[in-house]
Structure 1
Amino acid sequence: MKRAAISLLNRMRFKQKLFISYLIVIIIPILVLGWYAYNQSKQMLNIQGIQGIEKNIDTISGSIDSSVERYNRAVQSIVFNKTFQKIVANDYSDLVNLSYDLKEYLSPYFNMMSVLDRDVEKITFYTQTYVPEYGDSVLSADRVKEEGWYKEAMKGSTGSQWFFQDGLIVVNKFPQFFTDKTVNIVYMKINGDSMFRNVAELAKDYSVVLTDGHGRVIYANQNKLYPHVGLNELQRLKEGAITFGGVDAFLVKKTVKQTNWTIYCIVPAAEMSRNAGSILDATLIIIGACMVIVLIVIWIFSRTMIRRVYSLNSLMKRVEIGDLSMKVSSESKDEIGELTNRFGSMLIRLNGLIDELFRNKIVQKEAEFKALQWQMNPHFLYNTLSFINWKALRSDAPDISKVVTTMSKFYRTGLNRGDSLIPIRDELEHVKLYIEIIQITKDHSFDVLYEIDEAVFDYATINFILQPLAENAIMHGINRKEDGGRGLLQVSAKLIQDKVAFTVTDNGPGMPPGIAETILESRSSGYGLKNVNERLLIKFGSEYSFGVRSILGEGTQMQIIIPRYIRP
C-alpha cells in the first residue's frame, strides 16, 4: 500500500503535487477548528443539560425532604402525646379507663390523620407491655419481633427511622423513663407511589434510583437505563460522564437532608446532545464554504507559480537534446530564480568538464594497463615456484620441494584472486600453510595444536587476519622462550552464539601490561597488528572485537570475534 502510494505520487505532475500539498496544509486547520468548535458547543450543551438535571434533582430532593419532615413530625407528635404514652405503658388502674382512651381518643385521632393525609395507610403501636391488643391500632411487639425493620429499629436511636419493607414505613420509639424497661414504638405505613409522585413527573426522561443508608433500593422509576446497571456498580460510579453496557451517560448524585438516602440520576448522553445536530449542520456548512474559497485561491496561486517551473523545464529539455551552447540566467531572487542561475552555472561547468573528460580517459586507460600488469605478477610468481619445485624434484631435494609447494599454496590462498573476502576454510588453510613453512625453516622446533569447529566453514571473513596473529605469536612469543621448554602454538576457531571466534595462543614469555594494552594501536614492526584491527573495524564496525591477554612468564592469547558472515 505504501509503495503504491509513493509510486502514484511520483507519477503526478508538480502542479498537482503543489495543489494537493496546499490543500492538505489548509484543510487540516479548518477541520481541526471545525471539530473544536463543534465539540465546544456540544460540551456547552452538556453543561447546560447537567445544570438542568441538578436543578431537577434539587427539586426532587426538596420534595422528598418536605414529605419526610412532615411524616417525622406526625410520628413525633404521637410519641410525645401524654395519652398515647399512657396507653402503651399500660398506666391504668382498670380496663375501663383504658377502653375509654382507646375508643374516645386513639381511634378518632388515627381516623383524623388518615383523612387529612390519604397517603398514610396504617398507624400501629407495637408495645412490649401487657396492654390488650386493640384492632390494628395496638398490637403486641411479639407479632413483629422477627421482622428486619423491627430489629433495626430496636438497635437505632430514639428519632424517626425509615424503612422499605412491603412499602415505605416510618418508625419512632416512645420515650423511656428511668423506671420503664419496656420499648414501645409507633409504626406508620405510607403509600410510596403517592410520596414519590413528584419524582416520577420531574424525572420522566431519565432514570432515578433512591437508596437508603444500607444501599437498599427505596424507589426506582421505570426508565430503560437502570435495569442495565447493577446497584453495586451504580454505587461505585463517580459523578460525571460514565459508560456502562455500551451506553454513554451522565450520573448525578444527591443526598436527602432529612435521611441518609441517596438519589442517583442517570441521563443518556444522547438526551443531553439532542440539539447537537443543528450545530453540526452549521459547522459543516461553514467548513464547506471555506473549502470552496480555499480551492479557488490555491488553484490561482499554484498556476501562477508553476508557469516559471515550466519555463525552466523547457530550457532543460533543450540541454537534454544536446544544445549546450545557450546561456541561462534569471533576475528573480526567489528559489526558482536561484535554481535557474545554478542551472546556467552547471552548463558552464559541464562544458569545461567535457573537455577535461578526454584527458581523464587517457589517464584511466594507463591505470587499467598497470592494473593488468599487477594481475599478471601472481601468475609469474606461481610459474617461477613451479619451476623451482620441478628442479628440486629432479635434484632429489624433497624438503625444498615441500617448502616451494607449501609457499605456492600459501600465496594462492592469500591472494584469493584479488578478492578481500575469503571463506573461513581458506583463511584457516592459509595460516596452516604459513605455520608449516615456519616449522620447516625452524626445523620443527615447536609444536602446533589446531582446534577447529567445522561449523565455521559455512561463513566467510576478510583475508590476512590470522597470519599476522600467528607471526606475532611465533616471533615475539615462542622464539623468545627462556625457560628451555618446547614451544606450543594453539590455533582455534569455533562458534559462540551468533559469532565466530578465532584464538591464537602461545606459551612464550608474555608481554608487559603496558604493551599488551597498546598493541592494537601501535604501528611498531614488532607487534604490527594495527592493520588487522583497522580492516576489521572497516568491514564489521562495532560487531567485532579484538582482544589481547598476556601474562608474564605464561604466554599471550589473541582473540578475534566477528559476526557470522555469509558471502553473497
Structure 2
Amino acid sequence: MYISNISLQKKFVTLYVIILLVPVLIFTWNISKQYYEASIHDAISENEYILQLEQVNIENNIETIRRTAQMVVANQEFKEFIRQKEEYDVKGLLDFKINVLSDITQLKYNNPSIENIHFFTSNKNISEMWPIVYDEKRIANSDWYKKLLELNGREMWRFNQQGQYLDNVYSSKIGPWKASLYRQLEYPKDNHLGIIEITMLLENFFPKMFSGVNNGQSQMLVIDEMSNVHVNPADTLLEELNTNPEAIRDNFFRDNKNDSNQTMRFQNRERPYLIVSSYVEGIDMHLLNVVSLKDIYAERNQIRMYIFIGAFALIIVLSLFTHGIISLILKKFHLLIELMKRVEKGDFTVDVDIRGHGEIGRLSNHIRNMLSKINSLIADSVNKEAATKESELKALKTQIDSHFLYNTLENIKMMAEIDGNYEISDTITSLGEMMRYNLKWKKDFVSLQDEVNHIKNYIDIMNVRLDNKLRFNVDIPSRYLSQEVLKMTFQPIVENSVKHGLLDVLHEKDGIISIKVFSNTKDIMIEITDNGVGMDKSTLCQLTANLIEGTEVEETSSQMKSGSGIGLYNVHERIQLHYGNEYGLKIDSEEGEYTKVVVTLPCLLLEGGGGLPS
C-alpha cells in the first residue's frame, strides 16, 4: 500500500536510479578494467621499445666483435706467422710484434668496447705473446672446446668469466662476466691453426641494462645459452618483489614454449609483475625486462573509487531532472534501439528520422552521420583492398634481387675478361652501373657528375647496337659537377634524342649528343643538343604547348615517353614541383639540323651550399 501512495514522479525517479545504478556499476568496473589493460599495454609497448633499443645495441656489438674477428682472420701476415713450422729467431719475433701484432692490438684500441683479443695457437714453435697469443692447451679442457672444433670454422658465442684458463697471466682470480666469440682459424682450408677469442664486458655488451637509468619499476635480465642469468647488481626490483633471477628464469621457461618474443604475467606472494622478452637468435640468448605492476594496480583501484563516487553523485543530480522528460526520452530512445538493431543485423540504409536539438536529437544526428561514414568507409575499404591486391600483384611481378643481378653481371664480366672479350666486359660494366643507378633510388637528388656518368653508360651500351656511331661530347666546367639535379632528368631527354632524332641519320653520319652548361647569377642552364633529324615548327609548337599547358596529347605521347617510364612532360613537371614554375625544360629544333633541350635549374650545390661557386 505504501507504494500505491508514492507519487508517480518519485516512482520514476526511484526506477531511474535502480535502472541506472547497475549499468553505472558495470560501466565503472569495465572502465577501470580497460584502463588497467591500457596501462598494461602501454607498459608492454614501452618495455618492448626498451628491449628493441637494447637489441639494436646488442646487434651492433655482435657486428663489432664479428668484424674484429674477421679482420684478424683476414690478416695474411698473421696467418703466415702462425702456420710457420720452424721457430723464429729474435729478429723475426720482434718484426712480427712490431709490424703484425701491433695491427691486432690496434683493432682493440679502435673499438674501445672490445675487452680482449686472444689467439690460442696449436703451433708448438710459437711462443706465447701476452696479451694476445697463447698456447691452445690453455683452453683444451674447456667445456666448449670440442664443440667449437666440430663447427668447421663457424663461430660460437659464450658468456663466461675471464681467468678460468689465463691464470698466471694477470691473476688466478675469476674475472667479470663477458660475452665471448670463438672461431677456429684454418689456413689453408682444413689446416687448423688455432682459436680466435674476442671478448666484451657485459656492461658494454648490454649498455642499457647496466646504464642504471630506470624508474625503479623494471629490471632487465639476460638468460644465456647455458641458462645462466645475468643482471645488473645495482638494480633492486627483484629484491622488492621478494624473488630472485633464477625464479624469474624458471617461470619464463615454464611458460615460454618456443624461442619467440613473448609477454607473460606472474604473481609472486601477491605481488604482480610482467615479463617482456626478446629472443636474440644469433647468440641464442633471451633478453627479459621484469616490470612491477604494483603502481598500476594501485592506480586502477584509485580510479575505480573516483569513478564510483562520481557515478553516484551523477545519479543523484540526474535523478532531479528525469521526471518531466523521462517518458519522451524513453519513447525516442526505444526507437533508436530498434534502428540500431537493424544496423547490427547489417542494414546500414536505415533512416534515423528523429529530429530536435536535445540529447536524443543530437544522438540521432550523430548516428545518421556515423551510418553515412560507415557506408563510405565500407566503399573505401573495398576499393583499397582491390588496389592493395593489384599493387601486391605488380610488386610480385616486378620483384627482383638487385644484388643477385649485380653479382651475376660481375661474374659474366670476369668471364669475358678471362676470354679476352674486353668490349663485352666494358659493355657489361656500363650495364651494371646503369642498373645500380636505376635500382638504388635512395634519394631524389644526385650530382650533375653522377647524372652525366649515367648518360655516358647509356651511350656506351647503345654504341654496341649502333656500331659506335654515337658520340658523346661533354663541356662542363669542373665547378658545376657538384650541381644538384633531380635523378633521371637527362636519360628521357637523351633517349628521345637517340630514338626519334639520331636513328634515321646514322646511315649518313655519326650521331653527336652534346651537353654544355652555362649560368647567370642564380640559375644554371644545361643544354643537351643532338644533330638528328630535328622537328618541323608545327611539331615543335605542339610539344612546347604540351609542356606549358601541362598536357600530353595522344599524337605526341609516344614521343614524350622514354624507356624509363618518365617522359619529357614528367621531367618538366618534376622540376617545377621541386623548384617552382620558373624552372623546367625549353625545346628548340631546326628540321634536318638539330634538336636542343635546355634544362633550367637553380644553382644549388649538392653538399648543401647555395649559389654559384666562384
Shorter-chain TM-score bucket reads 0.3 to 0.5
- Report the TM-score when normalising by structure 2: 0.42
**More helix, by proportion:** 1
TM-score if structure 1 supplies the norm length? 0.45
